[in-house]
Each structure stands twice: as C-alpha cells, then as structure tokens.
Amino acid sequence: MAVSHIIEDEKALIEAIREIAQEKVAPRAAAIDASGEFPWDMKELLAQQDILAMPFPAEYGGVGASELATVMAIEELSRSCATTGLILAVQQLGSTPILLAGNEVQKQTYFPRLASGEWLAAFGLTESGSGSDAGAMQTFAVRRGDKYILNGSKRFITNGGLAQVNSIFALTDPAKGTSGISAFIVEKDFPGFSVGRIEEKMGIKGSQTAELIFTDCEVPVENLLGQEGEGFKIAMMTLDRTRPGIGAQAVGLAQGALDLAVSYAKQRVQFNKPIADNQGIQFMLADMATKVEAARLLVYNVAEMIDRHEKQISKYAAMAKLFASDAAMDVTNDAIQVLGGYGYMKDYPAERMMRDAKITQIYEGTNQIQRLVIARALLTEL
C-alpha cells in the first residue's frame, strides 16, 4: 500500500469507509449502472456517515478532514462504485470556490447544509462551445442594482439539476477575456434558472449530467464570489485542488478491476490449471498492480502537498490526474482481457469499470490539457 501520513483518527475513518463500500455500496453498483438513475440512497448513506462532511471545515458543521483522507475516501468508494465515489468528489468540487473565495456570510449560509448532505453542489464552467478553452465562454452577467442578471448556459454539469448550490462562472467584462470572468453562487430556485438537456452517457450512468440554462437569471450581488474579474483564477485554483479527487476515483476504479482480475485468474481453470499459473497472465497482473500503485502515490503526494498549503501544486495535480486516469483505462482494459469473454459481459463488473474509467481522462480537464499544464510548468521553472 502506498505511503501516506494519515493521522490515526482518519485512518480509522478510511477503514470504516472501506467496510461501508464493500458491504453497502458494492451490492448496488450494477443496479445503479443499469437504471441510470441518481442513487439517492447512496447519497443518504454518505450523508448519514458524515462522509459528505469530510471536505468542510469543522466550524461549519463539517469533519474538517485532510485532503489526503478525502481522496482516500473517494478511492475506497470508487473501488466499489465510481458513481458513488463521484458524489463525494463533486460535493467537494462544487463547494471549493466558496471555500477559496467565499466570505464568512457565504460560508455560514451554504456549508452547513452542504456538509450535512441536505444540499448538493455543482460546478458550472463548461459550455457547449467552451470546454478546454474556458476563456471562450459566452455566459455573461450584468449588474443591475442589487442583482446580477445572468444569461447563457452551461453544459455537461455533474449534479446539474440536482444541486441546490451551483458555482457558476460568467463574463462580467467581455473585453478583458479571462480577466473579465467572475464567479457566482447560484441557487437552484433563483428566478431565471432552469435545467435543459439531461445527458445519456457511456459510463457513470447514475450521476446526473445536465445542461443549466440562465434566462435573465437573478443573482443577488452578495452571491458574487470574491471580486469581479477573479472568476477564472478561482476556477483554476479550484481545479488544482479537486483534480486529485478525480485521480483518486481513477485509482479506485483501477484497484477494483485489479482485484477482480486477480480473483478470476485464481479461479478460472484452463488446460487443467488456473490461468494465474500462466506467466503471460502473471505479467499482466504485475503490470496492472504497478500502474495502480504508481498512480496512488502520485495522488497521495499532491493531496499531502495541498494539506501542507504548498502553492505550486498545479503541475503535481495535473500529473496525478493524468497518470491515474490513463492507468485506470489501461488496467480496466487489461482486466477485461484477463476475464476473456466473461469480461465483455455485464454479468461481471469489468466492462462497467472500463466505461466508468473513460470519463476520468476527460472531465476536470482532458488529459491533453493536463500535459499542457505540466509542460508549461516545466518550461517556466528556473
């Protein structure tokens, strides 16, 4: 197991989450995938066990867990069900802009309900014409008196339509490019807010992904995060701190696939012996395990950097997300190969794990963007 410097109380918490995942989350995973419906029972389970409270400071009703413990929790949940692991990851993603740039009133208003799981959070940056190029967004906000009026839309938003609290990014000064982007807390019931298309996806089917539409949406001035023009910086700082969570989701998926492949290889008999006795299979398993462990170390490393409040984390967050998600695709694909024909069938979870793993290479910045982040950091270092 990867080296980690987790305190005893958090170690006990992670062990408890592992048991919960094995006993209550894993048995639901196939049904969640088959129905494509948001698993409210899993959300309630995470809320009741204070797992959703982990990313929030104790003074606002949270657990105040370290980033390391939080990514370990996402990993353990995703090992059994990627959709359930994503509930925790997105609760952190949607609330991190408030954590980073919110004032005391905003934190007191939103964090207790988010920490308890009464409310869900979402992060609205992507649009139909601006994915990797966030600066090309078209959603705009104009101040009128004590309100901002938002017009535009967001696309591919996890928890879209379910979240009561949405961190939304919009242009307040289009002439300034990314320096003209501002961040807002938009509640689900604000006038002018509506939900458009609900996406049908290849994987993480139980996670609702939707289009958010703003038609003269009224947002109180006090719901501006930070100052006008700080939105892009807030968004990038958020992603630096939440990409490790996606890396952790990928590690969990890869570990689950490895567990399945090892177990199957021991039981499957061909030519009068378990296929695990074949060196070809052994080498595959060895490569899979090495990739999982290397990915885990990268994720844990950047989580600890965040806990130490190190400032230069962008490169390491990108490395963790890049390597872990690529490893997850490799490992889940190899798990299907180890299982052979059975791996291709829905009777076994390998094919679901591969479908779920694919999105980790795409959301919170495609892996091509991660390579750009890493390369730019390298080329600007002294």
Active-site residue set: 364
Question: What is d(CA 165, CA 93) in angstroms, rounded to the nearest whole number?
Answer: 11
The length of the chain in residues reads 382
Span 279-314, pLDDT tens digits: 999 999 999 999 999 999 999 999 999 999 998 999
Question: What is d(CA 111, CA 125) in angstroms, rounded to the nearest whole number?
Answer: 21
* pLDDT, the chain, mean: 97
The answer to whether residue 4 scores a pLDDT higher than 80 is: no
More confident residue, 339 or 4: 339
> Which residues have a Cβ under 8 Å from the Cβ of 196 and sit 6 or more positions away?
153, 210, 211, 212, 213
> Which residues have a Cβ under 8 Å from the Cβ of 283 and sit 6 or more positions away?
none
- Per the DSSP assignment, residues forming a β-bridge with 213 are 153, 194
Predicted local confidence at residue 2, as pLDDT: 65
Are residues 288 and 332 in contact, defined by beta-carbon separation less than 8 angstroms? no
Question: What is d(CA 193, CA 214) in angstroms, rounded to the nearest whole number?
Answer: 5
Residue ranges of the alpha helices (H) in 6-59? 8-20, 26-35, 40-48
Predicted local confidence at residue 381, as pLDDT: 83
Are residues 252 and 82 in contact, defined by beta-carbon separation less than 8 angstroms? yes
Q: Give the Cβ contact number of residue 213 at 10 Å.
A: 18
If pLDDT is split at 50, 70 and 90, which confidence band does 45 have? very high
Q: Which helix (H) or strand (E) holds 57?
A: none
Instruction: Quote the percentage of the chain above a pLDDT of 70.
Output: 99
Q: What is the dihedral of CA 126, 70, 183, 114, to 10 degrees?
A: 110
Average pLDDT over residues 107-120: 98
Which class for 57: exposed (0-12), middle (13-18), buried (19 or more C-beta within 10 A)? middle
If pLDDT is split at 50, 70 and 90, which confidence band does 382 have? low
* 78 phi-psi bin (left φ>0, alpha ψ -120 to 50, beta other): alpha
Predicted local confidence at residue 339, as pLDDT: 98
Predicted local confidence at residue 40, as pLDDT: 98
Going by their DSSP bridges, the two strands 181-187 and 140-144 should be labelled as unpaired
Span 63-90, pLDDT tens digits: 999 999 999 999 999 999 999 999 999 9
Q: Which domains does the chain have, with CATH numbers?
A: 8-116 (1.10.540.10), 121-228 (2.40.110.10), 232-380 (1.20.140.10)
Question: What is d(CA 317, CA 240) in angstroms, rounded to the nearest whole number?
Answer: 6
Q: Tokens at residue 1, please? A: 């197991």
Amino acid at 171: L
Backbone angles phi, psi at 264, to 5 degrees: -65, -40
Amino acid at 330: D
Closest CA to 82 of 351, 366, 290: 351
Span 120-159, pLDDT tens digits: 999 999 999 998 888 899 999 999 999 999 999 999 999 9
Span 11-20, pLDDT tens digits: 999 999 999 9
Q: What is the dihedral of CA 206, 212, 218, 222, to 10 degrees?
A: 60
Predicted local confidence at residue 141, as pLDDT: 98
Average pLDDT over residues 321-348: 98
If pLDDT is split at 50, 70 and 90, which confidence band does 1 have? low
Predicted local confidence at residue 143, as pLDDT: 97
CA 80 and chain centroid, separation: 15
Instruction: Quote the percentage of the chain above a pLDDT of 90.
Output: 96
Predicted local confidence at residue 177, as pLDDT: 93
> Which residues have a Cβ under 8 Å from the Cβ of 270 and sit 6 or more positions away?
none
If pLDDT is split at 50, 70 and 90, which confidence band does 3 have? low
